[in-house]
Amino acid sequence: MLRRVFTPYLLIQILILLLVLACAGQWGNRGDEQEQKQVREQEQEQEQVREQEQEQEQEQKQEQEQEQKQEQEQVREQEQEQVREQEQEQEQVREQEQVREQEQEQEQEQEQEQEQVREQEQKKFGRRTDHTSAVKKYCRKIAKKFYYWGWGHSYCQNFQWLHVRNSVLGDPLMWVVFGDEKAHRKTPKNATMVLCSIHGDELTPAKFCFDLMVDLARNFPRFKEQLVIIAPIVNPDSFFKRKPTRTNRRGVDINRNFPTKDWKIAALKLWRTRYHSDPRRFPGKHSLSEPETLFMVNLIKRYRPGKIIQVHAPLTHIDYDGPGDTLNQKALPVNQLLISMSTNAKGYRIKNYPYFPGSLGNWAGNERQIPTYTLELPSSDNRRSKEFWQTFQKAMHTAILFPVLD
């Protein structure tokens, strides 16, 4: 039976089966190896991925750290810049404070110097004169305007002012007298009248008159035998305007408002024709209509001066109106004075300027035969006032001392 069973055919089948099983085992092992290999490869890939991710994370972390460092550095730089700016601002503030302190010290020094000058001048002038409240107020107004124009101290409070009438706006029309007025009434002295700021926009003449007043006060012994009448601001309403004008408060040119013989016939007609109704030269509706004109007329009648000097600007000449009003009559004393004034002012130009209806030169010089000199300064520039006084100081001394009796 067994022999039948284990036949060659059966053995072959068994061998084949064993071979198959063996091959299957090998293939299974190979499959397992492949699977394991794939797993290992996957694990390697995953490891690589993780490494890459870790590298990326590290790079990102490094980048973030660098960015944070940069930001922190920028913040520090900004903070440092702010600190530097604050320090610079503080330094600037300190410098400005130092500059202000220096300016304050300079101002205090200047004030002290000015105060010393005032004290010295007061010693020369004597004590301040007692004035009416109107004059005190007006002197304060003058002082304020003087400092505004850069002229320094006016010494207005140091003079003995005379005051009768007021301007349209109520400012006192004041004058000062150097010399013995009472003695002059008994025995006429060599009297000189000086009028300034007849036109308010001519600034330099006002300072010129105050310079003359201070000069006479300082050198009074030299002029004590003379009589000098000075009205430094004839047209205050115009002079004290924010923008000074030629005409007075009512728009009248007071140097065309004097009651000359030809006023009614020619003043308004000439204004309309020659000057085309120029508002700056309006002579008024009738002569002597303005308080400033009346002030000058009464002043001249009161003192009957031997000569009048009116100071204007800016025509740059000396003119004369009065007896012997021709330049070729050099022998006449009045023309000698004209030439002498020009010589003492470095050859200042002499010009025979025409007179007009209603002008001071016409009314006082031609009609009343009072030698009337018009000194036209070169400019109304307030900054040149000192220059003009230095130029004409000697000429004014010559004019005051020159004997011309009424």
CA distances from 190 to 77, 219, 272, 399 (A): 86, 17, 41, 10
Q: Give 141 or 353, the one with higher predicted confidence.
A: 141
Give the closest residue to 338 by CA, choosing from 324, 359, 354.
Answer: 324
Four-CA torsion 333, 338, 344, 347, nearest 10 degrees: -130
As a whole-number percent, the residues of the chain with pLDDT over 70 amount to: 88
Question: What gap in Å lies between CA 340 and CA 336, rounded to an integer?
Answer: 6
| The pairing of beta strand 226-231 with beta strand 307-312 | unpaired
- With a CB cutoff of 8 Å and minimum separation 6, the contacts of 56 are none
Compute the radius of gyration of the chain from its Cα atoms.
Answer: 53
pLDDT greater than 90 at residue 307: yes
Give residue for tokens 């991925």.
Answer: 49
Residue 384 and residue 380: Cα distance in Å, rounded?
8
- Segment 197-214 shows an average pLDDT of 97
What band does 248 get if pLDDT is binned at 50, 70 and 90?
very high
Q: In what order do the strands lie in the sheet with 161-166?
A: 161-166, 172-178, 226-231, 190-196, 307-312, 372-376, 317-321
Q: Which residue has the higher pLDDT, 119 or 362?
A: 362
Closest by CA position to 169, among listed 256, 236, 226? 236
Amino acid at 237: D
pLDDT of residue 270: 95
For 203, residues 6+ apart whose C-beta sits below 8 A from its C-beta are: 149, 239, 244, 313, 380, 381, 382, 385
25 pLDDT above the threshold of 80: no
- Helix/strand/coil for 275: coil
Q: CA distances (Å), 380 to each of 71, 144, 191, in order? A: 67, 19, 28
d(CA 337, CA 127): 36
Q: Name the least confident of 1-10, 186-195, 316-325.
A: 1-10
E-assigned strand segments in 15-127 = none
Q: What is the mean pLDDT of residues 242-261?
A: 97
Distance between CA atoms of residues 212 and 389, nearest Å: 8
DSSP 46: H
Residue pLDDT, tens place only, 59-107:
888 888 888 888 888 888 888 888 888 888 888 888 888 888 888 888 7
Give the chain's mean pLDDT.
Answer: 87
Please list the residues that pair with 161 across neighbouring strands.
176
Classify burial at 200, counting beta carbons within 10 Å of its beta carbon; exposed 0-12, middle 13-18, buried 19 or more. buried
Range with the poorest average pLDDT among 82-86, 323-327, 349-353: 323-327
Predicted pLDDT at 138: 96
Across the strands, what pairs with 273? none
Domains in the chain, start-ordered, CATH in brackets? Answer: 133-401 (3.40.630.10)
pLDDT in the model for residue 328: 47
Q: What band does 45 get if pLDDT is binned at 50, 70 and 90?
A: confident
Which range is least confidently modeled, 115-124, 330-339, 342-351?
A: 115-124
Q: Give the confidence band of 331 by pLDDT, cuts at 50, 70, 90.
A: very low
Query: Virtual CA dihedral for 48, 51, 56, 57, nearest 10 degrees?
Result: 140
Give the per-residue pLDDT at 199: 97
Written as one string, the DSSP assignment of 126-182 is -SPPP--HHHHHHHHHHHHHHHHTT-----GGGS-EEEEEE-TTS-EEEEEEES-HH
Q: Do 228 and 192 touch, CB atoms closer than 8 A?
A: yes
Most confident range (mean pLDDT) of 250-254, 327-331, 348-352 is: 250-254
